[in-house]
Structure 1
Amino acid sequence: MQEPLPLVVFSDLDGTLLDHDSYSWQAAVSALDRLAEMGAAVVLASSKTASEITVLQQKMGLSNWPAIVENGAGLLGQNDLPTYGDLRAALDRVPDDLRQKFRGFGDMSVAEIAKITGLPQADAARAAERLFSEPGIWSGTEAERAQFETALADLGVYARYGGRFLTLSFGGTKADQMAEVLSRYPARHTVALGDAPNDVEMLEAAEFGVIIANPHRAALPPLATERTGRIIRTKEAGPSGWNRAMMDLLDRLETKA
């Protein structure tokens, strides 16, 4: 029987482990080093593509672990899900007056993706290499968006807001993929960190959840498990908040051991 890992950490990237403006994770290096020393797994869980996350895993020294990609629509290395081509075909079956109000990455050039994301050209090209989901900009009204989402649902496509974009997929959340990872890598403890509405299921599924402060977006509403202390909020934003929260949690877990 496989020996459980001491800890598996599931972490969102943009605005959480990565600084919102600089995309740097350097403020979290001390906590990442401590996690590596204890043999904990750090599973990146992001709206980013497999191509983008693979590069980040290599730079962070996390290539030995799985990663949740495209907002939970897929798991890095898993190829038995509907393809991006299927998703684009379904999108083009939506009534034209609604379809025209959604501009997805597949409708944009790499230069346009770089402009709206603030990514360098090479990184924007990797963001365009999609396998499971389609992020985009919605330009219609809220009522029209509801009609758009209903039309997509009839085709088996789900829409949800992540950080900056309305993202379409055939389903699957970060929490769904989290369960799959844990079936492969059982752990004594689990922690999830995030800052956006699409992180909520993951935060609630973990033993400990951490809402990272992000002054660039509206704060998440209070979650039920915050009252019990299972979910906490940071005062510091981005990787600084990530680092402090992880250090504090590791101290708590060592005290309990």
Structure 2
Amino acid sequence: MITLFQFPRALDVPNPSPYCLKVETFLRLAGLDYQVRTLLNPARGPKGKLPFIQLDDEVIADSAIILRTLERRLGLDLDAHLDAAGRGRALAITRLCDEHLAWLLVYFRWIDEEGWAEFRPLFFAGLPAPLRALVPRLVRARLRRGQLAQGLARHSREELLEFAREDLQALSELLGAAPYFGGLQPCSADAAAYGVLANLILCSLDNPLSRLAREYPVLVAYCERLRDKFWA
């Protein structure tokens, strides 16, 4: 049995974390049975973050390692229909989503002042009053340090939105008229792509990055397609 530990559902998407949503989308694309346990504190994870899974008696953390482990242990291969170039393309799309666009998502929720003013009361509304004042500041400060170390927070808002526009345009062109990034059927890249794109396009937030993402009709239709087929 697979148990997925992740944040609770919020913001009109199955999970407000692109990495949690990536893992759960993979489980659905692969047709695997699983159960979910929700956590609010990522520090309870073995690597201090969410998601993580329990596979039988083993705890496995990090979305990329989770998917790799499931593929190897259970004999899965969502990319079996792809040739070598297609597999390389799927990995490149996954890395773009996980290592760049998702970081921009974090910036425009947690660091950008407009995004933070909207995100904070929605995400932390369930905390008791003393914690509601303290926890958001502490988490935001930690994420700001991470964004500075990674380098994104050293750029202006306009520069970051231009980076995002390049990412979104590339994803739109790579998808084209195909229903999935794997072509006629999903591949591993679709888990990562839906994880971040649904959190931009279908999410109830209305920050500058979400507004930009909704300008790409190919990506909007893609999110709606996966939502209707795998999350209805």
| Fold shared per TM-score above 0.5 | no
Higher helix share: 2
Give the alignment's TM-score, normalised by structure 2. 0.29
Larger relative strand fraction: 1
Tell me the TM-score normalised to structure 1 length. Answer: 0.27
Instruction: Mark the structure with the bigger radius of gyration.
Output: 1
